[in-house]
Amino acid sequence: MTKAPHIVVVGSGPIGATYAREILEAHPTATVTMLELGPQLTEVPGQSVKNIHDDEKRAKARAMSQGPQADEESRAKLGLPYLQEGTLTARQGTHLVDFGGPGSGHAKSFPMASIATNVGGQGAHWTCAVPRPEFSEKINFISEEDWEQSISRAEVLLRANKTPFKKSPIGAAIRAALTEEFKDISTETVHPYFLPVSAEEQSNGTMIWGGTDFVFGPLIEKGNPLAARFTLKSLTMARKILFNGNKAIGVLMEDAVTGEQKELHADKVVIAADAVRTPQLLWASGVRPKALGHYLTEHPVCFSAIALDGEKLKKYATEEDYVAEKELAKLSPGDPVSGVTRVPFIEPQHPYSAQIMYVTKPPFPLPDDSPLKDHKYGFAMAGWGGRKFPRYEDAVTFDDNELDYRGFPNMTIDYELTEREIKEMEDVKVFMHRAADALGAFVPGMGMPRLMAPGTSLHYMGTHRIGPVDDGTSVCDDTSKVWGYENLFTGGNGTIPTANCVNPTLTSVAIAVRGAHKLIEELGN
């Protein structure tokens, strides 16, 4: 071991940032080099684009993240040929795996599979929701004490705000109405409440939304001693992991624009590229355990939009409250959300996690003759996420004989909801109708409850899952170290082994904290 150990981290999202920060804060001499295929979108690395209030600049930042579906100008800067105009994506700032151009992946059964390619990863585009997993979502082979320490640290890194939008009168009204409506499924400790988010609330009630910059913290502060030991290389891909036998010794890195390649040696390697590209890089590097890419899960999502009814909510909100809410919303023109509520996963009576976001304006275009065009009470965007139980058959697999647009073994995603999962997502509509009746009524047409296409959640899990034993059903041990290899760790939503309907980022950061601490332990002093 070198006196000053060097760690390479592939991927600049919240998970890669967690590894980098935990290592550098704990080890006095270690250095970290982070590789990111995509561009830097904001002056401060990894900031959420929701904090960009200028519509044109925010749209441009998102377009730069869309890889093969970016605008033509961005593709040229990213070293990409003309492939296909950015069209349908699961969310602005992402690009489809199966985008339809040369080198496209294959995902007919998972059509909305999308990823972001930029400094900060999905942490630049996410909704910032950070609720804790509960009941069977929790990982049963990690002790309660260990898990509490890890997830509490994750909340610190993400600056979890457990009571956001406290100044929102309509947010409070929605929360009160849903608490009353769902008291029959609640427990003393788990019940409808604020949706925890990664954000810093300002004195006027507006939000600075969390991005990967929150996790980077001191690593990107000018003049901070930790920043001197951290190097972030954007527009740089890891082409493959380098090995000496079963010991990872670095990566072959490649300039994404020029194609120039160079070996970058390291004492430890962390792959945190996302739930599809992490297994892709492992596969391309010859790391091919049986479970790699398999046990793919996401939470199926039923979406609805509710037009609030002032009469139904008069117990909780006055006419003046709605006027005040609209004034509050004007302070954040780049982000329409001004109140967040959660109906949590409560097993067995409510096997879902619901996210209700209040907006003063219609959440999607309405017909010109719609009576809701200027609806003064606003709207609740309500999404219910369900469970997908891990199956080997649900998988991302790779073909050495067909290359994708970046020259990696191309991926195919196979995915199917079972009868149990289909039934649960049909049954969820009972709860959705209850919420709508308590708050107002569904917006006709697009606002009616509907099961979204697979991949819509963007929360892809399980593809390099952790496990307690090396029995072929996991890729990594419980500290995220790849079975059978030295110095090689993974991180991200792909490590989550459970059927999880909660937003996964907090869980993944907690798992990464454990991985980083194991890595630090192996480094010694």
Fill in the DSSP letter of residue 170: H
Identify the bridge partners of residue 356 per DSSP, sorted by sequence position.
341, 382
Phi, psi of 397 (to 5 degrees): -115, 165
**CA dihedral for 420, 421, 424, 429, sign (positive or negative):** negative
What region, left, alpha or beta, does residue 407 occupy, with left being phi > 0 and alpha being psi -120 to 50 degrees? Answer: left
Is 222 exposed, middle or buried, given 0-12, 13-18 or 19+ CB atoms closer than 10 A?
exposed
Q: Of 6, 27, 375, 459, which one is the catalytic site residue?
A: 459
Phi, psi (rounded to 5 degrees) for 513: -60, -45
Residues 6+ apart with CB under 8 A from 245: none
Tell me the C-alpha distance between 91 and 96, whole Å.
9
Q: Is 433 a catalytic residue?
A: no
Which structure tokens are listed for 124? Answer: 């630049």
- Give the type of residue at 170: I
Determine how β-strand 337-343 pairs with β-strand 395-403.
unpaired
Three-state DSSP at 264 gives strand
How far the first Cα of the chain sits from its last, in Å, is 10
Integer Cα distance of 485 and 475 in angstroms: 11
Placement of tokens 């991005």 in the chain: 211
235, amino acid identity: L
Query: Which pair of tokens denotes residue 282?
Result: 């492992």
Rg of the chain on CA atoms, in Å: 22
**Number of continuous H segments (helices) and E segments (strands) in the chain:** 10, 22
Whether the Cβ atoms of residue 495 and residue 482 lie closer than 8 Å to each other:
no
Token readout for 110 is 């998972």
Active site residues: 459
